[in-house]
């Protein structure tokens, strides 16, 4: 049974674990924003301008395909060894990136970082689900979401400082003390008792899933960018990926302990929350990829102003996420998510309708509104999914949810990029023409509205209630020798 100490926050018995989880999440959050601002100085030093998009694609690809594998392993071996492995890989990747001598080497080392991030983020959220009650998790998710809000400001600022000083390697080496501190705090503060039993690792499933998804995500990320959609390499990537994915699905039905069990998507609650997470990923990337470009290209705002307008999105999210518990405990998960997706649709519609008259303040307000809505969608639906399964299934469920968000982000980038590039291609000056920027951005924001409306359908399909299993099949606690309060009804 899970032991839960009283109170939520830094000063509670579980405070050190919460801080460690926030530090761990911060590694991934800062990395997602700090690298972009330093790209010009990186290219000046190691060259490879045409290859620099792979700094992001390789990282995202490695992170996405490794999430389901880590999630399954955490249900088999426990959360602690998996998250520490992730932090170790992220630490190794950061050191190697800081020592990189060429663009190909830097891209390869970013893959190592991505493999670490694939464990850190989902297992952090899973641990929170293990040690906090269903009533406490929304507030805890608010703490974790606040990390992204801070990182949206700190990341670009640090990246700009390191870049202007000509020491871009510092954007990677700054992770070293953060990794060591997060790992040390987890080793000291987080303890779990696992019933060790014999497991049959699904090696075939892990390999098939990794290779198939790598090819499919690669095709989605690079189609229309590195190569044409109808080129032989694009067709081959999608075709082989689809065939291997089909083989994976067949193999999982026969595996003793499948890495991605069929029940994850066959249960109505888990299937709908996975679709919702997919939509959330698409919405996020549609805005984060094009809002800064829109403001800078349409009305020539500074990068700082454009970045702050986008930061409003990640400021609204933790505010609503931290308060969502009051709503879902009173109204239920589905009703809360419906309120959230309605707010999201409203914010995205306002952004799309006003795109032809660009205004930084209005864009920031729209992003803030979307963020408020997403906080009421992503947090309750994730907690609903976690609360519907027992301990030995929670890692897979959490990983699948975040994996779906990554896939939504990757496909969102591909679709939105294709829409924008088609409009840029019709302009003599391409992306340097303010009118073309306005037209392309308007089309992307309209596509975001469509993604939000489609997500409404997934929310409506959610079952009205979810349960929290009692008892859990493992014990995770902070103080040694702590006592467990009575189980929740």
The residues spanned by each domain of the chain are 1-191, 202-256, 262-467
Whether the CA torsion 389, 136, 186, 162 is positive or negative: it is positive
Task: List phi, psi (to 5°) of 132.
Answer: -120, 145
User: What is the predicted pLDDT for the residue at 240?
Assistant: 94
State the DSSP H helix or E strand holding residue 70, giving kind and residue range, or none if neither.
Answer: helix 54-77
* Residues 61 and 217 sit within 8 Å (Cβ to Cβ): yes
Confidence bin at 89 (pLDDT 50/70/90): very high
The more confident residue out of 145 and 174 is 174
User: What is the predicted pLDDT for the residue at 303?
Assistant: 65
User: What is the predicted pLDDT for the residue at 347?
Assistant: 94
Length of the chain: 489
Which two three-digit tokens encode residue 333? Answer: 């998960």
Is there a cis peptide before residue 471, judged by omega within 30 degrees of 0?
yes
Confidence bin at 480 (pLDDT 50/70/90): very low
Has residue 284 got a pLDDT over 90?
no
Comparing 33-37, 455-459, 468-472, which segment has the lowest mean pLDDT?
468-472
Which two three-digit tokens encode residue 418? Answer: 């294709």
Per CATH, 1-191 and 262-467 having the same topology is answered yes
User: What is the predicted pLDDT for the residue at 324?
Assistant: 84
Residues near 69 by Cβ (< 8 Å), separated by ≥ 6?
118, 206, 209, 210, 259
Residues 300-326 pLDDT 10s: 777 667 767 777 887 788 788 878 888
Residues 68-84 pLDDT 10s: 888 888 877 788 899 99
Residues 318-375 pLDDT 10s: 788 878 888 888 888 999 999 999 999 999 999 999 888 888 899 889 999 999 999 8
Confidence bin at 11 (pLDDT 50/70/90): confident
Confidence bin at 428 (pLDDT 50/70/90): confident
Homologous superfamily in CATH for domain 262-467: MFS general substrate transporter like domains (1.20.1250.20)
The more confident residue out of 247 and 263 is 247
Whether the CA torsion 228, 42, 413, 443 is positive or negative: it is negative
Has residue 239 got a pLDDT over 90?
yes
d(CA 84, CA 72): 15
Question: Looking at residues 198-203, what average pLDDT do you find?
Answer: 72
Which two three-digit tokens encode residue 408? Answer: 């939504």
User: What is the predicted pLDDT for the residue at 2?
Assistant: 41
User: What is the predicted pLDDT for the residue at 485?
Assistant: 30
Comparing 57-61, 261-265, 426-430, which segment has the lowest mean pLDDT?
426-430
Closest CA to 241 of 264, 221, 215: 215
Confidence bin at 426 (pLDDT 50/70/90): confident
Has residue 7 got a pLDDT over 70?
no
Cα separations in angstroms, 151 against 8, 28, 424: 22, 9, 31
What CATH number has the domain spanning 1-191? 1.20.1250.20
User: What is the predicted pLDDT for the residue at 487?
Assistant: 29
pTM listed for this prediction: 0.77
Closest CA to 137 of 347, 384, 302, 319: 384
Three-state SS string over 388-440 comes to CCCHHHHHHHHHHHHHHHHHHHHHHHHHHHHHHHHHHHCCCCHHHCHHHHHHH
- Average pLDDT, whole number, for the chain? 80
Angle CA(380)–CA(408)–CA(370) in degrees, nearest 5? 55
User: What is the predicted pLDDT for the residue at 75?
Assistant: 78
Determine the distance from the C-alpha atom of residue 424 to the mean position of all C-alpha atoms in its chain, rounded to a whole number: 29
Which ranges constitute the DSSP H helices of 332-390?
333-353, 360-387
d(CA 339, CA 421): 34
* Residues 37 and 85 sit within 8 Å (Cβ to Cβ): no
């Amino acid at each position: 049974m899970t032991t839960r100490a009283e109170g939520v926050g830094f000063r509670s018995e579980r405070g050190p674990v919460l801080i460690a989880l926030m530090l761990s999440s911060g590694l991934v959050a800062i990395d997602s924003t700090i690298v972009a601002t330093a790209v010009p100085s990186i290219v000046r030093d190691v060259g490879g301008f045409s290859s620099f998009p792979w700094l992001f694609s390789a990282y995202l690809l490695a992170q996405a395909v490794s999430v389901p594998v880590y999630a399954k392993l955490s249900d088999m071996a426990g959360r602690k060894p998996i998250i520490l492995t992730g932090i170790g890989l992220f630490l190794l990747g950061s050191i190697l990136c800081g020592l990189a001598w060429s663009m190909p080497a830097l891209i390869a080392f970013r893959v190592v970082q991505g493999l670490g991030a694939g464990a850190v983020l989902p297992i952090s959220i899973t641990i929170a689900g293990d040690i906090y009650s269903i009533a406490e998790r929304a507030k805890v998710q608010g703490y974790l979401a606040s990390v992204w809000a801070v990182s949206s400001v700190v990341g670009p600022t640090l990246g700009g400082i390191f870049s202007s000083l000509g020491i871009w390697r510092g954007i990677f080496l700054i992770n070293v003390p953060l990794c060591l501190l997060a790992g040390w705090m987890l080793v000291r503060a987080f303890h779990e008792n696992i019933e060790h039993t014999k497991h049959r690792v699904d090696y075939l499933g892990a390999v098939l899933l990794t290779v198939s998804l790598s090819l499919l995500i690669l095709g989605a990320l690079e189609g229309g960018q590195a190569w044409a959609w109808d080129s032989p390499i694009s067709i081959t990537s999608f075709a082989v990926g689809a065939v291997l994915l089909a083989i994976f699905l067949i193999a999982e039905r026969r595996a003793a302990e499948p890495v991605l069990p069929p029940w994850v998507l066959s249960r109505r609650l888990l299937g709908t929350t996975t679709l919702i997470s997919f939509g959330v990923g698409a919405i996020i990337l549609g805005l984060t990829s094009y809002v800064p470009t829109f403001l800078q290209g349409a009305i020539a705002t500074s990068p700082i102003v454009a970045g702050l307008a986008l930061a409003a999105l990640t400021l609204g999210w933790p505010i609503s996420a931290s308060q969502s518990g009051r709503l879902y405990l009173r109204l239920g998960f589905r009703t809360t998510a419906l309120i959230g997706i309605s707010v999201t649709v409203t914010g995205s519609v306002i952004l799309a309708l006003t795109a032809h008259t660009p205004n930084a303040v209005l864009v920031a307000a729209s992003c803030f509104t979307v963020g408020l809505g997403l906080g009421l969608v992503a947090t309750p639906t994730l907690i609903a999914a976690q609360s519907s399964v027992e301990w030995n299934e929670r890692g897979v469920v959490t990983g699948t949810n975040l994996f779906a968000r990554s896939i939504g982000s990757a496909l969102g980038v591909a679709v939105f990029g294709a829409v924008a590039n088609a409009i840029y291609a019709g302009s003599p000056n391409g992306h340097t023409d303010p009118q073309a920027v306005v037209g392309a951005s308007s089309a992307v924001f309209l596509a975001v509205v469509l993604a939000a409306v489609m997500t409404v359908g997934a929310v409506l399909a959610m079952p009205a209630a979810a349960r929290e299993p009692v008892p859990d099949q493992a014990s995770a606690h902070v103080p040694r020798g702590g006592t467990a309060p009575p189980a929740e009804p």
